Amino acid sequence: MKIAIDGPAGAGKSTVARAVAEKLHINYLDTGAMYRAAAYAMLEKGIEPERSQEVVQALPEMDMKVIYENGMQKVLIGGKDVTPFIRTPRISRGASDIAVIPELRLKLVELQREVADEYDVVMDGRDIGTYVLPDADFKFFITASPRERAKRRYLEMKDTDPNADLDEIEREIIARDKTDSTRKFAPLCQAPDALLVDTTEMSREQVIKLVAERVSGEK
């Protein structure tokens, strides 16, 4: 079983992907975490993610592994679990910048396909249905208006970050959508055979129900 979930930032991809993987007792692969970990790895080496030549030169030494511990995904760089360090705005931007580099994408796609070869999996990202798993059993394109997606991120951040600013989050999301959907290689776009789910007016539970019912053949 291979399920592809794509869409822009904050649409609820990982929320629904995680829930569906749990219901089906299969693995969940957050491919965004891999782009984030790559950005983290380069920044640690003093390389800015947008400097593609330097990134490409450093790629052979970037030792990334994806492992599962008690069903939870971890991304290791040089053996170190970087998962706790990759959810910052700096890394979000860096992931989007590094994600335009074809050589980097090819390296990560190879790892993603290895996971899909080994396990039944729900994978979320930007190019899963179009590029990584074109033969997936089910494909969903989950979206929502930029304002709604920014509100969702704001709600997640406001307790830990008193400086969180809704307008700034929205600007950052729109900028990242633009970089992601205009890059030449494997951009963010809906696969022709993916089901479009606009979640702007939907609750988390409604989205999970819709996707789970589709996959289990109930609807």
Using CA atoms, how far apart are residues 87 and 148, in angstroms rounded to an integer?
Answer: 19
| Least distance in angstroms from the C-beta of 12 to ligand CDP | 3
CB 8 within 8 A of CB 65: no
Q: How far is CA 186 from CA 11, 68, 129, 191, in A?
A: 19, 26, 10, 11
Residues 18-57, interacting with ligand CDP (CB under 6 A)? 31-32, 35-36
Q: Pick from 26, 202, 212, 214 the residue near ligand CDP by CB under 6 A.
A: 202
Q: Of the two residues 35 and 141, which places its CB atom closer to ligand CDP in the complex?
A: 35
Residues 47-106, interacting with ligand CDP (CB under 6 A)? 92, 95-96, 99
| 203 annotated to bind ligand | no
| Least distance in angstroms from the C-beta of 120 to ligand CDP | 19
Residues 138-167, interacting with ligand CDP (CB under 6 A)? 152, 156
Query: What is the dihedral angle through the alpha carbons of 121, 184, 48, 61, rounded to the nearest 10 degrees?
Result: 60
- Angle ∠(43,125,156) on CA atoms, nearest 5: 75
Beta bridge partners of 2: 121
Q: Pick from 49, 199, 210, 211 the residue near ligand CDP by CB under 6 A.
A: 199
Q: Pick from 176, 194, 210, 211 the residue near ligand CDP by CB under 6 A.
A: 176
Binding of ligand CDP by 14 (CB under 6 A): yes
Q: How far is CA 185 from CA 88, 130, 207, in A?
A: 25, 11, 29
Length of the chain, in residues: 219
Footprint of ligand CDP (CB under 6 A): 7, 9-15, 31-32, 35-36, 92, 95-96, 99, 125-127, 152, 156, 176, 180, 199, 202-204, 207
